[in-house]
């Protein structure tokens, strides 16, 4: 239960920090943090939580990461379901807190998206379903490559959270215009359930694509790392 609680709290922080920055601060009048600020916010949530709870639960915070680590031989199948449940519940709890905060501002409207992921008309740049699919698969694949490599026993000790956090920052810098940047089904679900309508209708992509990408990334790392990988 300590591990599951850590995943709940960690995913809560990721959604509150990342999605919160997008909803509350990205376009704040005159001093908005913009795309770069939101990207940094997501990276910082993972970096800070990796140091805070990495030694407790591994700091997955993401069903695609948990499934990828299982595919890569780093995580037992018996813990997959409870980890994923904890991550999704933690994300939704953060979404609820964010909704309470955001709805306190005049003019708040869920129709603006509430940091939900989308494609087509609901992509920030109006990118197609195919473009969104490729983006999410490829970027999640490389996210798992970074995670597996940075936490390999042969990698420099103590620096994994920095590499992983900066990796997620880069992923957001690339993909916010395309899908609003998911690579994390729990993050996508956390805000989509409050928007409903198109956000829940398109949510399938932000489960399927990151999971495929995560598994591909982990299997690719196992191939290139060789028998000495741990």
The pLDDT profile of the chain, 230 residues, written as one tens digit per residue, is 899 999 999 999 999 999 999 999 988 777 788 899 999 999 999 999 999 999 999 999 999 999 999 999 999 999 999 999 999 999 999 999 999 999 999 889 898 889 999 999 999 999 999 999 999 999 999 999 999 999 999 988 889 999 999 999 999 999 999 999 999 999 999 999 999 999 999 999 999 999 999 999 999 999 998 766 54
d(CA 188, CA 202): 10
Query: Between 1.20.1080.10, 3.40.630.30, 1.10.260.40, 1.10.10.10, what CATH number should domain 2-225 receive?
Result: 1.20.1080.10
For residues 19 and 98, the answer to whether their CB atoms sit within 8 Å is yes
d(CA 27, CA 37): 10
Structure tokens at 165: 């956090």
d(CA 105, CA 35): 21
pTM: 0.92
């Amino acid at each position: 239960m300590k591990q599951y609680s850590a995943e709940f709290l960690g995913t809560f922080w990721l959604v509150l920090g990342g999605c919160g920055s997008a909803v509350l601060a990205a376009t704040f009048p005159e001093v908005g943090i913009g795309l770069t600020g939101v990207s940094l916010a997501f990276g910082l949530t993972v970096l800070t939580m990796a140091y805070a709870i990495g030694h407790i639960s591994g700091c997955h915070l993401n069903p695609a990461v948990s499934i990828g680590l299982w595919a890569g031989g780093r995580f037992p199948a018996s813990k997959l379901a409870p980890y994923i449940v904890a991550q999704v519940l933690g994300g939704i709890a953060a979404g609820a807190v964010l909704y309470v905060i955001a709805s306190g501002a005049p003019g708040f409207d869920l129709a603006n998206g509430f940091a939900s992921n989308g494609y087509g008309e609901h992509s920030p740049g109006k990118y197609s379903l195919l473009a969104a699919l490729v983006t999410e698969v490829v970027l999640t694949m490389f996210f798992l490559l970074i995670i597996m490599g940075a936490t390999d026993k042969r990698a420099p000790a103590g620096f994994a959270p920095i590499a992983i956090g900066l990796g997620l920052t880069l992923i957001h810098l690339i993909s916010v215009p395309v899908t609003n940047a998911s690579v994390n089904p729990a993050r996508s679900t956390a805000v989509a359930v409050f928007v409903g309508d198109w956000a829940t209708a398109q949510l399938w992509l932000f489960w399927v694509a990151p999971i495929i990408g995560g598994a591909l990334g982990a299997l690719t790392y196992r191939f290139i790392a060789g028998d000495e990988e741990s």
